[in-house]
Homo-oligomer: A and B are copies of this chain.
Amino acid sequence: MTIRAGLVGLGKIARDQHLPAIARTDGIELVAVASRNAQEEGLNNYPDLDAMLAGEADMDAVILCQPPQVRYQAARQAILAGKHVFLEKPPGATVSEVEALIALAGAQGVTLYASWHSRHAAAVAQAKAWMASRAIRRIDIQWREDVRHWHPGQPWIWEAGGFGVFDPGINALSILTEIVPEPVTMLSARLEVPENKDAPIGAALSMATASGAAVEALFDWRQTGPQTWDIAVETANGSLLLSEGGNTLRLDGEVQIKAPDEEYPAMYRRFVGLVADRAIDADIAPLRLVADAFLCGRHCPTTAFDD
């Protein structure tokens, strides 16, 4: 049976990734979209989730792609209406919101999928398998990109609860918490916040694995030219470098995998399987590390930034 889905928040990520991925996935069909400003031809268009829930009685699932600040109330409403829910990352503006959604979805017997697209990058599974049997000595993350290119016209991302540079940075943390075979702890953080914004444009994080290996991360949104999404791991038995956001893998310097980005189709295949099982997949570990970085982090004002 094909899942009849409605999507809320027809912005850049929805058009760039969700719509094409859904079109390529068996078992799910997009029937409606809800958006204040945008419309999509060939689908039922609604101004908001309320209207979509009222108009699409036999819709099975709701895909939430709005800014994180408004995602909790929408997800709560959809779950209470008996719909399965697919959350774009980050799954909420706070950890306790996601915990509440997990409990609610469990009580309602619907699927909740807190998606982490970078975990579906081509080389992540092999990196995880390689690390499972090795003693980690040190991990270095460099996640540097050009916010003007990736987030044009998204003022919410600079507001409180919009995550700032942690919007891409949480992708690195989602890979980290997937491939490291033990919990990762946030120890200290430095957040660079432009004078004219509420969210950081840069961050330096000091973390540790449970056995004490250092994990250092640098996030920066001011990188022009080539973009950098790298995770380098040194172990007692060799080194690993994940680059291109998890789509390229080098072991001891030799390329093992170099594949194009197929993350969203993989996530939709996962979602179809979760709905078949009425299962919940909502790992809060990446979001908890971000909350911890804001909790212990020093806010350092930096020059105003015009995006």
Contacts and interface: CB of A to CB of B under 8 A. Distances in A.
Contacts of A29: none
A35 interface: no
Q: How many copies does the complex hold?
A: 2
Contact of A295 (B183, B198, B291): B291
A295 B299 contact: no
B291 A95 contact: yes
Interface in A169-228: 183-189, 193, 198, 207, 210
A294 interface: yes
A94 B292 contact: yes
Contact of A94 (B93, B97, B100, B295): B295
Contacts of A210: 100, 103-104
A108 interface: no
- Of residues A104, A289, A294, which shows the largest number of chain B Cβ atoms within 10 Å of its Cβ? A294
B299 A290 contact: no
A185 B290 contact: no
| 7 cross-chain pairs, A with B, having the tightest CB-CB distances, nearest first | A94-B292, A160-B298, A291-B291, A161-B296, A291-B295, A294-B294, A96-B185
